[in-house]
Structure 1
């Protein structure tokens, strides 16, 4: 209230001063131009200027109000167009996140048509169309996105490749990704999509070539990359072994060449050695397999290698058995080693020693393979009843019996 009183007092004081000034001296203003002539007192002229200024402000305010109302009322105004685009985008993104594909397609397509920057809306709409199985509309939306926003080839290409992979169209996806890889050879997403595509197509040789790029660009975490490298080279060795079947004397060539291409740090890993040795055995090269396994076991003991060593018949069976028995001192309780020693003893026709090793292995671990080996040996030795028991036990370990329903009388 005190401020209001001060304001009123100031207004009264100002009006009093102006009144005294007017009464003391009215002043004179003359404006003449050709035939035009204006005369008035100074105070009247000042009052006229104030009135004109107030009229200008009023007209300006009215025009502004008319402009705002027209922008709001006019459905085709830029304001309403932007507002409709924002609403369509909000609804479309929410529907896309919630998996409402039909609504997302409708809203995002409308947002793309209204927006000045339609690329993300077209990409989202294409994803929704792909989920609905509308492949032609999906391709059309991606083409439209690239047409509306020149320079978006990478973004559109990545989206197109991912959607093609999702729908299982690997042939077209490979064409798209090969072009992207050529234009952007170090792009992480391009490399990751290529990796996914090669895995889906079982293109192990192509993936082997890609692996160094994945490592160089750090596309995958170290553990994930190491696992991928291991699985890829194992599958590649299996593929090479498949190629050698029926090739006669040159059957080992694809496999040995592929093994030479394996990075040296991977060739020392037991899973890769096992994969290589298994393919050698598959192609009828047990002596080569025995040599590979023996060298790997010198570098480090591993039960998987030992297990396979018992299946690889070397050039000198007695020396092979002696080599395996040398591992008993440190690994005498390993059931895989005892199984291998039993098999090698069988190869050397040492029936008593074979039985001891197989019995010891079976005592440490009930295993279907050990049961089968011991059952065959006992059948050969005439112990048919025990042999049959072991065969039945082995079958049970391979396929546990299914409980049958109890029969009830009607």
Structure 2
């Protein structure tokens, strides 16, 4: 189709030239005593040629005048292209794990005039991986004062560096600066905050941040469950010196976690140390009735009341279903020994040892032998325990 238009245009031009060539008109120039006559066609061709020549001269003049600016722009564009190439090389090297090459390429990109703050961040991250902290901090300082997006990159990188160096409070300050800059806390920032709160042992904040991550479906359920368990464990241990605070804390723990053996064990130990054996045995019984745990049942015999008859009955009811559990037999042996039921205590402890030899069972048998006046036998048991 294009060639058809060209053909029609050439045909029309040829017709126009033929018509002009047959034009009888002329142009006369008079400057006394001279007179010049030329045909109208020739005069039109001269005008056209003069216009074309003038246009070419004008274009050459503009090109000549703009040549220095053109050369500057060309050089700047060439340097920018080299800078972008170096930046891409730095990114590739960083993600390949070639940190020295990444830092070198990022620095070269900055020297070539590449103004993106990404180069400073990549150089800082690479220097951090190389444990060159002075250079890392210098690159971070160079990235400061850029656009909002680059400020976010800088603060995120700074937070990660501080967490790697176990400086959680400084990391939290960096995250606060990020929030104050107007940046809404995204998943990456929340994940860093979770790690910082863990390092700072701010367990209430850990639970709060985890709730936000779970709401966004940004954390694995199993991982979240383990972190919640750790948080509640640490909160329990922090209240191990005040019985009222401990009771209040225990009430605030969700039922799902109360039945977990590790939390139940930590709570039982804390209640026992503070003299509330009744609460300790009650929560242990509830946890064991929900989920049996051989290590946890051994704690059931650690805390003694003045009358442990109910606890012995409870433990013996469990024995009907868990006849081969050495921890349960050990607990029964301790409870019976506290009630001065020497024969039953001896039989339960011997049964525990027949299933699994343990230092604690031998030590308890040594204590029992001492109470029964069998000092030589007690010495043998204590030696086996050691």
Pick the TM interval, shorter chain: 0.7 to 0.9
What's the secondary structure of 2:320's corresponding residue? helix
Report deviation, 1:146. 3.8
My pick for the range that moved more, 287-296 or 38-47, is 38-47
The residue that corresponds to 1:269 in the other structure is: 260
Distance change >3 Å, CA 133–CA 223, structure 1 → 2:
same
The residue that corresponds to 2:218 in the other structure is: 219
Report deviation, 1:55. 12
The residue that corresponds to 1:341 in the other structure is: 332
- Whether 1:376 aligns to 2:374 is no
The residue that corresponds to 1:89 in the other structure is: 87
The residue that corresponds to 1:165 in the other structure is: 163
- Equivalents in 2 of 1:285, 1:29: separation in Å? 128
- Equivalents in 2 of 1:156, 1:351: separation in Å? 70
Report deviation, 1:348. 1.0
CA deviation map 1:138-184 (0-9, x unaligned):
34433433423245433322122112222333332121123435655
The residue that corresponds to 1:407 in the other structure is: none
Report deviation, 1:114. 4.4
The residue that corresponds to 2:5 in the other structure is: none
TM-score (norm 1): 0.73
The residue that corresponds to 1:200 in the other structure is: 199
- Equivalents in 2 of 1:98, 1:107: separation in Å? 13
What's the secondary structure of 1:147's corresponding residue? coil
Report deviation, 1:285. 2.7
The residue that corresponds to 1:126 in the other structure is: 124
- Whether 1:307 aligns to 2:280 is no
Distance change >3 Å, CA 87–CA 319, structure 1 → 2:
same
- Equivalents in 1 of 2:29, 2:378: separation in Å? 137
Name structure 1 gaps, 5 residues minimum: 1-13, 245-250, 396-410
- Equivalents in 2 of 1:339, 1:358: separation in Å? 6
Give the conservation status (yes or no) of the 8 Å contact 1:85–1:115: yes
- Whether 1:237 aligns to 2:236 is yes
Report deviation, 1:34. 9.6
- Equivalents in 2 of 1:311, 1:193: separation in Å? 41
Name structure 2 gaps, 5 residues minimum: 1-9
RMSD between superposed Cα atoms in Å: 4.4
CA deviation map 1:276-302 (0-9, x unaligned):
111112333323212222333344433
Give the conservation status (yes or no) of the 8 Å contact 2:363–2:382: yes
The residue that corresponds to 1:7 in the other structure is: none
What's the secondary structure of 2:239's corresponding residue? helix
Report deviation, 1:239. 2.0
Distance change >3 Å, CA 174–CA 105, structure 1 → 2:
same
What is the aligned residue count? 371
The residue that corresponds to 1:359 in the other structure is: 350
Give the conservation status (yes or no) of the 8 Å contact 2:26–2:39: yes
- Equivalents in 2 of 1:40, 1:89: separation in Å? 67
The residue that corresponds to 2:105 in the other structure is: 107
Structure 2 residue corresponding to 1:288, chosen from 250, 255, 279: 279
The residue that corresponds to 2:188 in the other structure is: 189
Give the conservation status (yes or no) of the 8 Å contact 2:169–2:196: no
TM-score (norm 2): 0.77
What's the secondary structure of 1:118's corresponding residue? coil
Distance change >3 Å, CA 316–CA 134, structure 1 → 2:
same
